[in-house]
Chains A and B, each alone.
Chain A
Amino acid sequence: MLFFSYFKDLVGQEVTVELKNDLAIRGTLHSVDQYLNIKLENTRVVDQDKYPHMLSVRNCFIRGSVVRYVQLPPDGVDVDLLHDAARREARGG
């Protein structure tokens, strides 16, 4: 639940989602669900030379299970809030 809530608060911000097949997509976080499926808007592929077939894709849904990393905006991370949430989660939240 921790990360679902966290990503919900991040809606509207720019993130870079890196997939398990090494494709990295940057875009505005539109929505997220409990599986951490992600919908991005105004997307662009980070390495366009390597993945030219994605040039015309502007919106996309990403299945949560294919995500490796999400690079987060530095001002979207409240470290103290995260620590508290993580401890609560560890206690069985």
Chain B
Amino acid sequence: MSGEEDATVREPLDLIRLSLDERIYVKLRSDRELRGKLHAFDQHLNMILGDVEEVITTVEIDDETYEEIVRTTKRNIQFLFVRGDGVILVSPPLRAP
């Protein structure tokens, strides 16, 4: 491994290392999404996020019209440990325009 804070991306986890202390997007199993500041992670993708917004998406079928009704539930959590086995993807900083 090279220098202290190498800015190059050699392996996938480097991308996440460079996102430390930045707001990231995390997609999880069971239709959950998180947006929050990445404070720590390990090779399993266990993570600690700060100022987290969780969005849960549920789809219901209307009894009469059989239309799909998509509902989203949001909640905010100050500090959250996320177990890595539920993680589907991690996307680096959502840069403000």
Residues of A within 8 A of B (CB): 1-3, 6, 20, 36, 64-65, 67-74, 76-77, 79, 82-83, 85-87, 89-92
Contact = CB atoms under 8 A, between A and B. Distances in A.
Interface of B: 1, 5, 13-14, 17, 20-21, 28, 30, 39-43, 46, 48, 50, 77-83, 85-86
Contacts, number: 76
Given A77-B48, A77-B50, A65 B40 contact: no
Contact of A87 (B20, B78, B80, B85): B20
Given A70-B80, A71-B79, A86-B39, 5 more contacts: A2-B42, A3-B81, A77-B50, A89-B40, A90-B13
A67 to B, nearest CB: 5
A74 B78 contact: yes
B42 to A, nearest CB: 5
Given A6-B40, A85-B40, A72 B20 contact: no
